[in-house]
Amino acid sequence: MTLNERVPTAGDGRAADAVLSLLRWYEAAGVSMPAGNGVRDRFAETAAEATRRRGTTVSPALDTAASAGPASAPSASRRPSPSAEPPLAPTMPTILPLVPDDVLAADARARAATAQSLIELRAILAEFTGCGLKATAKTLVFGNGAEDAQLMLVGEAPGREEDLAGEPFVGRSGRLLNRMLEAIGLARDSVRVTNTVPWRPPGNRTPTPAETEICLPFTLRHIELVKPRVVICLGSPSTKALLRSDEGIMRLRGRWTTLDLPNGTQLPAMAMLHPAYLLRQPAQKRLAWRDLLALRQRLDAPD
């Protein structure tokens, strides 16, 4: 269905509800105006319009006949040939059918479960169109670091710099994260890093619960494939999504708990304050330091 098809009437309650919820979904995803599927060449449009108005394909600079006045009626040879006009981009996008979030999440679970390696998982995620964030992000930010890391860190979502680079935690908070890891003797490339959603939310907003649920199966499969000894959730959204807790990050941070994975594996996990929060609240770095020491201890202890 496209937006310029028949407008639903009052008797069309269900269709109207569907259109409204779709528009709300677009709004939540940050879409504020309609756009075409391709890049719109406004210069080509202007040239085509001018050509149509003049009824000729001859460039204005060479169009001496046109200045001869109304007596010189346009001949067939001077009428614009349809193929000479640049095609106009469609004015409205094609709207995908509305699929309920739980169906999208179930589809994501089924797809993620088939990945037998990180390369496969990345390819499956790149093909996945069930999360609206993909439409506004520039790149897929899958994850980086050692594929057999003992420690895996899960952040919230890529920001602007991560979206441009296609890598997680490369901006300011990434640089602080690197220093935090170094402080307990861990090189950044020795750990695995990913996020709860792999596409940047518009304007760096927090991912919605639906976006998080739809992307979560890929993050969980990512953890299953890396098989780390320990998982750290960075910040509240990651903690809520992975550890299934509604408690505040200030209560949860620094407490060891268990992460249950879909394949039945259980891993020790802990929430920590997000580096972006620590940049805003440097006084809280003392809590982060406490948690880092607890993490070091855990990594040093035998399984």
Contact set with ligand URA (CB under 6 A): 155-159, 162, 168-169, 171, 173-174, 195, 276
Closest separation in Å from C-beta 299 to ligand URA: 22
Cβ proximity to ligand URA, 129 vs 204, nearer residue: 204
Q: How far is the CB of 40 from ligand URA (least distance, A)?
A: 31
Nearer to ligand URA, 168 or 254 (CB): 168
Q: Least separation, in Å, of the C-beta of 151 and ligand URA?
A: 16
CB of 221 to ligand URA, least distance (A): 18
Nearer to ligand URA, 221 or 274 (CB): 274
Q: Residue 19 or residue 295: which is nearer to ligand URA going by CB?
A: 295
Please report, as a single letter, which amino acid is at residue 170.
V
Q: Which is nearer to ligand URA, 57 or 208 (CB)?
A: 208
Q: Select 153 or 295, whichever has its Cβ closest to ligand URA.
A: 153
State how far the Cα of 102 lies from the Cα of 46, in Å rounded to an integer: 45
For the bound state, the minimum distance from the C-beta of residue 159 to ligand URA, rounded and expressed in Å, comes to 5
Closest residue by beta carbon to ligand URA: 155
Minimum distance, C-beta of residue 204 to ligand URA, in the bound complex (Å): 9
Do 202 and 136 meet the contact criterion of CB atoms below 8 Å apart? yes
